[in-house]
Amino acid sequence: MDPSELLEDLHRVEGQIWFDKMREVYNAGRICPWVSTFHPDRLSCEIKGKPLHGSFNWALKVVFSDGTAWLVRFPRGGHISKDIMDEKVTMEVSTLRLLRSQTTIPVPTVRAWGLAADNTLGVGPFIMMDFIEGKSLLDLLLDPDVENPTRHMRQDISLDKVTRIYRQMANFMLQMYHINFDKIGSLPWPETEATGLPRPLTFKAHEMRHTAGVDVFGDRTKGFASADEYIKHLVNENWTLITNQANGIQHRDHARMLYGAWQVIRQVVETGDFINKNYNTSQFKLICDDLGLANLIVRSEEDLTVVGVIDLEWSYVGPAQMAGSAPYWLLQDRPTSMDWDCVDGRRSAAGNRYFRHLRLYLRILEEEEAKVPEYKHELSDMIKWSQETGAMWLHMLVSNAFGGTSTFPFTEFRQHLGGEPQWVRREQEFKGPVMESFAARKELELRGYWEAVRVMKRGWRSSGTRSLLLRSSWIGGLRCFGREGMLSQAKE
């Protein structure tokens, strides 16, 4: 999924507005007095070190007069849709409290939290939690010496270290997998125990809406009675994106390729062959969309004991078969990234390495299951089922925005369905006037999109000063310039 340059400009402005407000609050020395109001003894505190930030959050370490340390964290304006910031924070609080109460996973204790309306600083919702001392496993697993750094686990890491990491992760995943829920959806809101929305806030749906401008949620008050219903909904999210994103194609042939590919996927999903009937309508599980090796804090580079599992946003209740699918995170990077892409249908080096590590992880998982008789190899059996049926590839495809037919999961899914000859035969069923009409419309939308980008960039250059760029009227204009506006630009 290519992001919309129009929305990127909008989010850049929104991010600057938010950061300017945060910098004003920070420089005025208002943060520590505000944090102290949440301490049970109202102890004074001071900020230690530089601000920390990732893709979605901005945070500070504060140390109180008794030596205890908290992490104070805010969703970053421009990086998270403003209207879901409260929900994002709330769901993470619910997840952390659930895991602290029902597992031994070392997640931080939440000390305080609040919605945007509760924050007197005016910088949005927040979480205050124990600060976990240690080293980010993400940093330790990256190779600093490669010419083009990626998120791939470094090649020179020893088998002993990988085994140590996987064994701890297997233990965490086993504990999470054995928490059962009776329906798919959002977790209950903390404190109130109010029922969460039946359609959960997922990483994929947010990204499609935030970066591509396509709302794939639908009516969030309407839930799902089964895994079958939910997975069909995820497939339709991707189809909705392809249908409605103005810059969702590169050219007319690309539009034909996307149309054919997703019509085949929709067709095969309708068969029900990728649904585990034993878990279709019950025993739903906690899913953390962004949980992987990068979420782990270890004691040190020498001691890889995990002392913290952090950043559990984008968490919700979903099908057991997705929670128990072959994990995407074994090499730290997502298999849908371009570094994994297959060439001429041949598996990449990353793909071959993934299978080797999957065998290692599965062996370790079975060893950990054997230590707890009540686990009954339930999770390892589900992973094996996802491999045997090909459901693991479908899960990877529908958990992310579609990256094209050369991606590792798509190539493996196509191979599972009989390889290139069978796939071509399936696609032939969808060639014809409807496909051509779709491709022509998408090409027209694409021309309108690039014309809109040209007009918008000309506006940025002519507006002159940063203060003018921040005008709310300009932001409002960007918000309103949707697919219909791009179509009209193309026709003109």
Give the full edge-to-edge strand order of the sheet including 135-136: 135-136, 296-298, 306-309
* 130 Ramachandran zone, left/alpha/beta (phi>0; psi -120 to 50): beta
Tell which residue, 121, 136, 101, has the closest CA to residue 26.
121
According to the CATH classification, is domain 137-428 in 3.90.1200?
Answer: yes
Q: What is the mean pLDDT of residues 277-300?
A: 96
CATH class label, 5-131: alpha beta
Q: What is the pLDDT of residue 144?
A: 78
Single-letter residue type at 102: Q
Indicate whether 269 pLDDT > 90. yes
Are the beta carbons of 304 and 292 closer than 8 angstroms?
A: no
Tell which residue, 289, 180, 275, has the closest CA to residue 227.
275
Indicate whether 450 pLDDT > 50. yes
Strands 126-130 and 135-136, sheet pairing? unpaired
Q: What is the pLDDT of residue 6?
A: 86
Write down the residue that tokens 């964290």 correspond to. Answer: 73
**What torsion do the CA atoms of 172, 178, 179, 181 make, to the nearest 10 degrees?**
140
Q: What is the mean pLDDT of residues 141-163?
A: 86
Q: What is the pLDDT of residue 338?
A: 83
Burial of 458 (0-12, 13-18, 19+ CB in 10 A): exposed
Map out the domains of the chain as residue ranges: 5-131, 137-428, 433-491
Tell which residue, 238, 262, 272, has the closest CA to residue 423.
262
Give residue-wise pLDDT tens across range 65-103.
999 999 999 999 999 999 999 999 999 999 999 999 999
The pTM score is 0.92
